[in-house]
Amino acid sequence: MKGYAAAAGSSTKQRRWKWLVLAVLMLVFFSMLVPLSFLLALHNGFPVGWLSDESSPLDSFEFDGDGIIEKNSSKGDSRVEQMLRNFTPSLPEEIVQDIAEGGDMKLNYSKRNEVSEQLTSGLTGVASHPESEVLTEDLPKPSNVDSKMHPTLDTKLGARVGVELSDVSNFAGAQKSCELEFGSYCLWSKEHKEAMKDAIVKRLKDQLFVARAYYPSIAKLQGQENLSREMKQNIQEHERILSEAISDADLPPFVPEKIQKMEETVAKANGCTVECSNVERKLRQIFDLTVDETHFHMKQSAFLYHLGVQTMPKSLHCLSMRLTVEYFRERPLDVDTSHAYKFNDPRLRHYVIFSQDVLAVSVTINSTVTSSMDTADVVFHLLTDRQNFYAMRFWFARNSYKDAVIRVLNIEDLNLSNLIDFGVTQLSTSEEFRVSIHNFDEPQLLHMRTEYISIFGHSHFLLPEIFKDLKKVMVLDDDMIVQHDLSTLWNTDLEGKLNGAVNFCKLRFGHLETFLGGNINDRSSCLWMSGLNIIDLDKWREHNLTGIYLKLLNRFHNGSEATWRTAALSASLLAFQDRIFSLDSSLVISGLGHDYGINEDMIKNAVALHYNGNMKPWLDLGIPTYKKYWKKFLTQGERFMDECNVLH
């Protein structure tokens, strides 16, 4: 009995052990089966690529290279057609084309069935290209596009602020704008793209990609051992050639034979019966890797471009340092004391410029004086910071500009009470912004168009306190040049308005309604541009515009460095709302710092040219066609410019 009991206990333990082993084997089997089913595409139509988190209505649409197309719900689509749709580029067509030809932030948006109730905008910081009708309140909105977006703002020095909006979906494959992501780099790269070179190397790479996609399937086929071996040998030979050559000139003479041999091998593989999903999956992997690599190189190139346009060139830094050193060596007077009475004489024409660039502001002043018929009543007030004050003072002491008087002021030494309210004591010049909005001319493409505007900085709102005895001033940006006499503009009747400015009607207040917090009187009103502005200081003081601006600034500024600068856009626009006198738009041509397509006749006939944008005329990256107008007013024979090799 004892022996029987022992045997029964042993048998029970063995059965338990067998069940445990069986359970472990089943777990291992299922753990391998699930990923294997994904790899072999055995699951029920699992799509390759990206999907939105929302199943409806996005499930009924698919993206192709030209925009959004409705997905065919028929189950009879061939596998080849499905594969072709899956191979649609995830990058915008314009970017892919630029990259293929060698050619300043993201915005998410979606296509919906319901009508958008409110127009909103996407903003990005520091020139228009596709000319398109601007949407105003009385224009119909497309019924199938939702304009709710993810606004971001990025100023000319690179600051970037994101403002989250509700109901923003990440639509898979939705077309992005190159300018939206990379800014004016896209405009520059299109103009500087080079013709495709090393076509043979590119062909070798294409053949290698196709062969790699076919090889795993061919290697598994019964009876195709010779083809598999031949394809593997050709792949290895192509890899060996490409590892030693990066251009056509580096290729060995027998390459045409290798190309022909690979073509024949791929043709044989194409004639074999293989699982399309395997080839599709392999090509998708190669494509995704190539897209990622391409996007990385674009981001790297865009970074270097923005670094180039935002960094002071070595020659200009040398000029500023040499002038500063010479100032302390010679200690000159900035102006004749006999002209000091002109500084506060309201009967004279007073021009105000905020600048930190001695070369740029000298060209602006020289062009204004050269174009003036009478300069005896012209006074320039140049406001700068402590770092550039001595260089500018020495420059204008050395160089005379007809009968015009030039006064250089260090804004940090003015001891203005409102500077404390502003929270900073540093000079704030005009701010430049890049604004991207939906282009409703082509709603089916969900295309974004990008415009560039410039606006007053914080320091501009100190004008009434700095010039207490003056009634009127004309404010110029230092990236302006003047081609005709401004005396007629100076005498313009502003009809009770505070600011005479050129309107920019490619953007209207309605486009920025969400960004401005809905505090808009007229959604169809055009935005205005800085650059050349006639300011009525008496009206400014009467309306306490500086106080209004400070209140708006406190509302939009949340305490961070970035929002301090970006708040200038919303605060400036709202402060001057209904207080702008519109100047003739043909008088001032803007966009010479980013727009390659400005008509030359318009440039020649304009009173003033505004080089707003990243591509300033004193930079190597400036637009060559427009540089000649700016260089015409450079000071000639200046010793320090020659010694520092400025613009040589």
| CB atoms inside a 10 Å sphere around CB 330 | 10
Q: What percent of the chain has pLDDT over 70?
A: 70
78-92, 341-355, 364-378: which range is least confident on average? 78-92
Q: How many CB atoms lie within 10 A of CB 548?
A: 17
Quote the tokens at residue 613. 């944008």
Which structure tokens are listed for 80?
A: 């080849």
Sheet with 472-476, edge to edge strand ranges: 405-410, 378-384, 349-354, 472-476, 526-536, 499-508, 580-583
Q: Report the distance separating Cα 533 and Cα 590, nearest Å.
A: 13
Q: Is there a contact between 574 and 555 (Cβ–Cβ < 8 Å)? A: no
For residue 363, pLDDT beyond 70: yes
Cα separation of 69 and 426, whole Å? 52
Assess whether pLDDT exceeds 50 at residue 449: yes
> How high is the pLDDT of residue 369?
96
pLDDT over 70 at 370, yes or no: yes
Banded model confidence at residue 150, pLDDT cuts 50, 70, 90: very low
Residue in the block written with tokens 């929270």 = 423
pLDDT at 287: 84
Residue 565 is predicted with a pLDDT of 79
Instruction: Note whether 102 and 195 are within 8 A (CB).
Output: yes
- Report the pLDDT value the prediction gives residue 648, as an integer from 0 to 100: 64
Model confidence band, residue 217 (pLDDT cutoffs 50, 70, 90): confident
Higher pLDDT, 463 or 3: 463
Tell me the average pLDDT across 82-97: 39
Whether 192 contacts 108, CB under 8 Å: no
Predicted pLDDT at 16: 63
Mean pLDDT computed over 176-203:
80
Average pLDDT over residues 428-453: 76
Say whether pLDDT at 504 is over 80. Answer: yes
Q: How far apart are CA 22 and CA 27, in angstroms?
A: 9
* Sheet arrangement for strand 431-438: 122-124, 431-438, 448-455
Most trustworthy range by pLDDT among 218-232, 279-293, 568-582: 568-582
For 297-338, how does the pLDDT look when each residue is reduced to its tens digit (9 = 90+)? 888 888 888 888 888 899 999 999 999 999 998 877 655 567
Region 571-595: mean pLDDT is: 93
Q: Which residues contact 353 (CB under 8 A, 6 or more apart)?
A: 361, 364, 365, 380, 381, 382, 383, 475, 476, 477, 478
DSSP category for residue 633: T
Phi, psi of 35 (to 5 degrees): -65, -30
> What is the pLDDT at residue 14?
58
Which residue pairs from 201-206 have beta carbons closer than 8 angstroms and sit at least 24 positions apart in sequence?
Answer: 201/242, 201/245, 201/246, 201/247, 201/248, 201/251, 203/259, 204/238, 204/241, 204/242, 204/255, 204/258, 204/259, 205/242
Half-sphere exposure of 354 (CA within 13 A, CB side): 24
Span 56-74, pLDDT tens digits: 222 332 323 333 223 333 3
Cis preceding-peptide flag for 216 (omega within 30 of 0): no
Residue 638 to residues 45, 224, 356, 362, 646: CA-CA distances in angstroms?
Answer: 73, 78, 19, 12, 10
C-alpha distance across the termini of the chain, in Å: 112
* Other CB atoms within 10 A of residue 563 CB: 18
Give the mean pLDDT of the chain: 75
pLDDT score at 40: 47
Q: Is the pLDDT of residue 477 over 90?
A: yes
Q: What is the C-alpha to C-alpha distance for residues 190 and 97, in angstroms, rounded to an integer?
A: 10
- Closest by Cα among 99, 204, 608 to 370: 608
| Better-predicted residue by pLDDT, 80 or 408 | 408
Beta strands in 468-579 (DSSP E): 472-476, 480-482, 499-508, 526-536
Query: What mean pLDDT comes out for the span 230-250?
Result: 88
The pLDDT tens digits of the residues spanning 374-395 come to 999 999 999 999 999 999 999 9
Residue 305's nearest CA partner among 641, 648, 594, 100 is 594
Residue 135 scores a pLDDT above 70: no
In sequence order, which residues have a C-beta less than 8 Å from that of residue 56 and are 6 or more positions away? none
Per-residue pLDDT tens for 515-538?
888 778 888 999 999 999 999 999
Percent of the chain with pLDDT over 90: 38
**Which SS3 state, helix, strand or coil, does residue 271 take?**
coil
- For residues 402 and 377, what is the distance between their CA atoms, to the nearest angstrom? 11
| Torsion angle of the four alpha carbons 439, 565, 623, 291, in this order, in degrees rounded to the nearest 10 | -60
Return d(Cα 505, Cα 392) in angstroms, integer: 36
Q: Which of 521, 500, 499 is nearest to 510 (CA)?
A: 521
Which DSSP state fits 571? H
